[in-house]
Amino acid sequence: MSNQENLIKAFQEDPRLQSLVAGWQEKTGAVHTLTGLVGSMESMILAASYLQNPRTFLVVAEDKEAAAYLQNDLSGLLQPKIIRFFPDSFKRPMQFEALNQNNVLLRTETVNRISLAGEEGEIIIAYPEALFEQVVSPEELEANRLFVKVGEDLDVDTVISLLGEFGFRQEEFVYEPGQFAIRGGIIDIFSYGNEYPYRIELFDEEVESIRHFDPMNQLSVREIRQVSIVPNINSRFNREQKLPLFDILPEGSVVWIRDYQWTIDKLQECFEKAESFADKLSKSEEEDLAELFRDRAFIRPGAVLESLE
């Protein structure tokens, strides 16, 4: 057993951690306050408590940088467990002028993973600006997918029409989420819910093969049997189809907030800035951006407590 494993085991055997985990198992919605955490102690407690009683954890750090550090710590402590990073949709937090499509991809993928999580759950690291934007409910996402499977027929015209409805743009080559390209019997699609784009090869109308490929060098990453294409969550869905991230967490999930009042204050700041930006948004702005702010699909600070109850 490594030194790291011994250390985690020592935390697991600590009566205070055992009491904390026992409180989660009672499903009473109890609130616990932890003080005096220094250095990597928080990461050790999170890792030890997850291993003691696996379930979905949502951890809210104070900002994007702190969230990234925490993700890195937990990835090292819990490998090979994948620690999900849940960012805001923009190139910089609270700078609403430009969307970051890779961030949109990560948000969509996280919602996907939450909806598919088994008994071991998912560990999601977020920060206030990321929580501010509501997410598509898993049910809506499930109802708006394009499934493609090797050996089944696929009509190219139908694919073009459906991808257009999903908010995808046809390009000569794909290099970011939300794009697709068609060359003869080859369809490249960069979905909003996956790290790599898909290359679908057709023989007449039958799907002959499906591969992930690297858009930088066009080389195949791996071959797969089926794919699920999900739409642009910002433009495809309206406010009525979106929920706070808290509301899609499985029953019994643990929400770990480093500084509750700081989180509420940042959400209030986000709300005020978003309202001001939305009022100034011109019709000439990027379509995805305009759709997002037109619906005002944001969480109000007071709704956080309601979601956690």
Shared domain check, 297 and 149 = no
**Rounded Cα distance, 220 and 231, in Å:** 23
CA distance 4 to 43: 12
The domain total for the chain is 2
The answer, yes or no, to whether the previous bond of 80 is cis (omega within 30 of 0) is yes
Tokens of 62: 């104070």
**Predicted pLDDT at 128:** 95
Judge if 167 and 95 occupy the same domain: no
Q: Is residue 76 domain-shared with residue 111, that is, in the same domain?
A: yes
Same domain, 149 and 135: no
pLDDT, tens only, 7-23: 999 999 999 999 999 88
Of the residues 229, 257, 280, the one at which a domain ends: 229
pLDDT exceeding 70 applies to what percent of the chain? 89
Average pLDDT over residues 88-100: 85
> In this structure, which long-range contacts are made by residues 62-67, counting pairs with CB atoms below 8 Å and at least 24 apart in sequence?
62/127, 62/128, 62/258, 62/259, 62/262, 62/263, 62/266, 63/93, 63/127, 63/128, 63/129, 64/88, 64/93, 64/127, 64/129, 64/130, 66/127, 66/258, 67/125, 67/126, 67/127, 67/130
State percent of the chain over pLDDT 90. Answer: 47
Q: Is residue 81 part of a domain?
A: yes
pLDDT tens per residue across span 260-292: 999 999 999 998 888 888 777 655 455 666 666
Q: Are 179 and 133 in contact (CB under 8 A)?
A: no
Check whether residue 77 and residue 124 sit in a common domain. yes
Q: What is the mean pLDDT of residues 246-268?
A: 92
Identify the pLDDT of residue 249.
92
130 inside domain: yes
Question: What tokens were used for 206?
Answer: 């039958």
- Asked if the structure places residue 10 within a domain, the reply is no
Q: Are residues 112 and 62 in the same domain?
A: yes
**CATH label of the domain that carries residue 159:** 3.30.2060.10
User: Residue 87 in contact with residue 113, Cβ under 8 Å?
Assistant: no
pLDDT band at 97 (very low <50, low <70, confident <90, very high): confident
pLDDT value of position 234: 62
Residue 153's Cβ-side half-sphere holds a number of Cα atoms within 13 Å equal to 5
Question: 135 and 150 in one domain?
Answer: no
The reply to whether 238 falls in a domain is: no
In a domain, 7, yes or no: no
C-alpha angle 197-202-203 in degrees, rounded to nearest 5: 160
> Does a structural domain hold residue 174?
yes
pLDDT at 194 over 80: no
Last residue of a domain, one of 200, 229, 258: 229
Residue-level pLDDT at 206: 95
Alpha-carbon distance of 8 to 213, in angstroms, equals 38
Q: Are strands 254-257 and 57-60 parallel, antiparallel or unpaired?
A: parallel
Place of tokens 């890195």: 72
Tell me, yes or no, whether 96 and 63 share the same domain.
yes
For residue 307, give the 3-state DSSP assignment. helix
Average pLDDT over residues 174-178: 88
Query: Domain of 112: which CATH number?
Result: 3.40.50.300
Residues 225 and 151 in one domain: yes
For residues 128-133, average pLDDT: 93
Residues 225 and 85 in one domain: no
Write out the residue range of the structural domain in which residue 280 sits. 54-139+246-308
Asked if residue 215 and residue 85 are part of one domain, the reply reads no
Domain-embedded: residue 128: yes
| Same-domain check for residues 113 and 258 | yes
Instruction: Report the pLDDT value the prediction gives residue 241, as an integer from 0 to 100.
Output: 77
Instruction: Please tell me the predicted confidence (pLDDT) of residue 284.
Output: 46
Q: Could you tell me if residue 221 is inside a domain? A: yes
Report in angstroms the alpha-carbon separations of 275 from 211, 241, 272, 307.
Answer: 42, 20, 5, 22
